Chains A and B, each alone.
Chain A
Amino acid sequence: MQKKIIEINNLKKSFGQNVVLKDINLDIYQGEVLTIIGSSGSGKSTLLRCMNLLEEPDEGEIFFENVSLTDSSVNINLLRTKIGMVFQSFNLFNHLSVLDNCMLAPLKVLHQDKKAVKENALAMLDSVGMKAFQNQSPLALSGGQKQRVAIARALAMNPDILLFDEPTSALDPEMVGEVLEVIKSLARSGMTMVVVTHEMEFAKAVSSRVVFMDDGVILETNTPDQLFQNPKEERTKQFLRRVR
């Protein structure tokens, strides 16, 4: 078996009365691309955000490379440097140039040498096709360009896993392709990724496994072929009919 990057056991999470995650168990292995699908409000984002502790779980355990995230003695900032995240709304730092967006965390958190940081940041921007925009303000970019910079920013930390929360949902249709291309090429390069998405074609093409979430539980996990062609659960069938 491959190395486990993330292990989630009996994870529960509520917001007030609203139970959002009900007993989630999920393992993510090195090199795999796990996509999470499911209707809106089913808890996909919350699950993803628990993986880097942007949301604090109520119960259960999450291990990242065998270190318990929920252990209060753990240095969460250090662990987060290994867990990249890409958001639906990009969340680029608008007061910094594209290049500085990619350099901030390596400089201030990893305390790496400035020259090396810049070189690496430029390489990452190059890999998403945004090197030419290095000196621009994020405000001057299109949505697709912003998201590619956000990916480069996450990559600049040299993470062991990347979490994507609906990376193309805020994009104009004509820009979805360029971002998905970048994610696909990351997948080919062997990057471990968890992608919450509504792009079913993309999920089919890129995933090693697909998770279907419904109302706070993982209803079904399978290879993309199996899950899309032979869904076992009635709810999965309904969902797939709806999104097609």
Chain B
Amino acid sequence: MMKKRIVFKIIKKIIISAIVLGVIYALSSQKTPENSLQAITSIVEGTPSSETLAVLEIASEMVVPYNYLNKQSLSSTRLTQLSGDMALPSQYGDVSITWVSDTERMTIDSELENFSVASPQGSVNILIYHARILSLPTILQGSKNFTLTAYFHYNDATLMKTYEGALVAVMPADFFGGVLFTIVRYSRLFFEGMITTLGLSLTGTIIGFILALILVFLRIQTPSFHDKKGISVLKKAGSSFAKGYITLFRGTPMIVQASFFWYGLGLFGNALLCGLFVVSLNTAAYIAEILRGSINAIDKGQTEASRSLGLSQVQTMRYVIFPQSVKNSMPAIGNEFVINVKDTAVLSVIGIFELFNQTTKVAGIHYRQLEAYLVVAAIYLVLTYTITKILQKVEKRFDLKTIDLPSSV
């Protein structure tokens, strides 16, 4: 028995640490994605009157850099994915504006240029400084951070506003270049998404498995002739609850469950934790049915032998039926894990940055869906294939062990 014990202890430890890690991970506030650079600071120089200050502040709020080519205004977030020239407004009402950037990869023209932007009143001509990009980082360099500072002058007072941005490599126009670019440029996003996806599905499967043990225990309760009234009522209630739970969770899409618990109930106030909750509850329902099937498949003689030795119904479950049915269910439970790796993609609906959501983000940055979704499909495929292979190996080992038990007390 020694080896088996140790293996069990190790498995127990792994399961417990996986759960703890999963919960900690979920609790640790959602990691803001890498473009969290858009800090804005305002410092005043001079001693403006309150009216002057108000004018400056309005100007600093209203004025934004524009994308030189498509004339779209660049919010501070959009500055973090910059790979083209900018148009920097020089005037807002009576406020004049000057711009300074801290990178050699960009120069700002000193002459003014005419620039027309769309506005509710129709297209408007404004005077801008043309910020020219001299060089972009290579694909391998990824991105280069820079700051762009705007000085707002009015009545001898100056207000300073600093944008933090990043210059990024341009996505090659061709397909293969695009794929390569997507992989290299966003490997960190994909990796983070992958970790979230794996963490969610593994922890969700483990918690789901534990819940499933309880569920299936309730589910298979049948009142027997020995039971007192109270007990048999309890058994019926437990069984009905489990039945209802399983029907409910297997009968509704996980995307609906996730939306219900997150948008409907705002559970946990943390999307990742809420997602973990949903995956666990969902998996529990499926694994409970797997376990029930394998419990039913176990020969009635096992129960009879156990009861004839004096083990109670609960002891029979715990020491005879569950160990065998769990072992027989292992392949199906492993499969449930693989399914979770894929199905957690729907949790992007509640804003969890798992693999699929990260991909959507990547696709949105460059409007290059084909490359992004192709890359993520490959990642999912590699993940599920690898996990399946590992599980098969584990199963084989596990089976070998049971044929020749290395047992000693």
Contacts and interface: CB of A to CB of B under 8 A. Distances in A.
Interface of A: 52, 54, 56, 72, 76-81, 83-85, 87, 89-95, 97, 99-100, 103-105, 108-110, 114, 118, 134-137, 139-140, 150, 153-154, 157
Given A52-B308, A105-B309, A153-B309, 4 more contacts: A85-B304, A94-B324, A135-B408, A137-B404
A3 B160 CA distance: 106
A150 B305 CA distance: 9
Nearest to A157: B309
Interface string B306-338: 111111100100011001100100000000000
Nearest to B309: A105
Contacts of A118: 409
A95 B324 contact: yes
A136 B305 contact: no
B156 interface: no
A83 B324 contact: no
Q: How large is the interface on B (under 10, 10 to 19, 20 to 34, 35 or more residues)?
A: 20 to 34
B302 interface: yes
Nearest to A118: B409
A47 to B, nearest CB: 15
Contacts of A139: 402-403
B226 interface: yes
Interface string B367-409: 0000000000000000000000000000000000011111111
A94 B405 CA distance: 11
A91 B301 contact: yes
B307 A80 contact: yes
A85 to B, nearest CB: 4
B302 A91 contact: yes
B128 to A, nearest CB: 77
Query: Which of A56, A90, A109, A154 counts the most chain B CB atoms within 10 A?
Result: A109
B304 A91 contact: yes
A87 B409 contact: no
Interface string B276-310: 00000000000000000000000101101111111
B1 interface: yes
B311 A135 contact: no
A135 B315 contact: no
Interface of B: 1, 225-226, 299, 301-302, 304-312, 315, 319-320, 323-324, 327, 402-409
A78 B310 contact: yes
Contacts of A157: 309-310
B409 A99 contact: yes
29 contacts: A54-B304, A77-B310, A80-B308, A80-B309, A81-B309, A83-B308, A84-B309, A87-B301, A87-B305, A91-B304, A91-B305, A95-B324, A97-B1, A97-B405, A99-B407, A99-B409, A105-B306, A105-B309, A108-B315, A109-B310, A109-B311, A110-B310, A114-B409, A135-B405, A135-B407, A137-B404, A137-B405, A140-B403, A154-B308
A232 to B, nearest CB: 34
Given A72-B226, A95-B327, A104 B319 contact: yes
Contacts of B409: 99, 103, 114, 118
Query: Which of A56, A105, A114, A118 counts the most chain B CB atoms within 10 A?
Result: A105
Contacts of B308: 52, 54, 80, 83-85, 154
Nearest to A85: B308
Contacts of A52: 308
A54 to B, nearest CB: 6
A137 B327 contact: no
6 smallest A-B Cβ distances: which pairs?
A91-B305, A91-B301, A105-B309, A81-B310, A97-B407, A85-B308
B406 to A, nearest CB: 7
B165 to A, nearest CB: 62
A16 B3 CA distance: 49
A99 B408 CA distance: 9
A91 B299 contact: yes
Nearest to A54: B304
B320 A93 contact: yes
A72 B315 CA distance: 20
B402 A93 contact: no
A118 to B, nearest CB: 6
B301 A108 contact: no
Given A72-B226, A137-B404, A137-B405, A109 B315 contact: yes
B129 to A, nearest CB: 78
A169 to B, nearest CB: 14
Contacts of B320: 93, 95, 104
B311 A108 contact: yes
Contacts of B310: 77-81, 105, 109-110, 157
A135 B404 CA distance: 8
B309 to A, nearest CB: 4
Query: Which of B306, B310, B315 counts the most chain A CB atoms within 10 A?
Result: B310
B226 A76 contact: yes
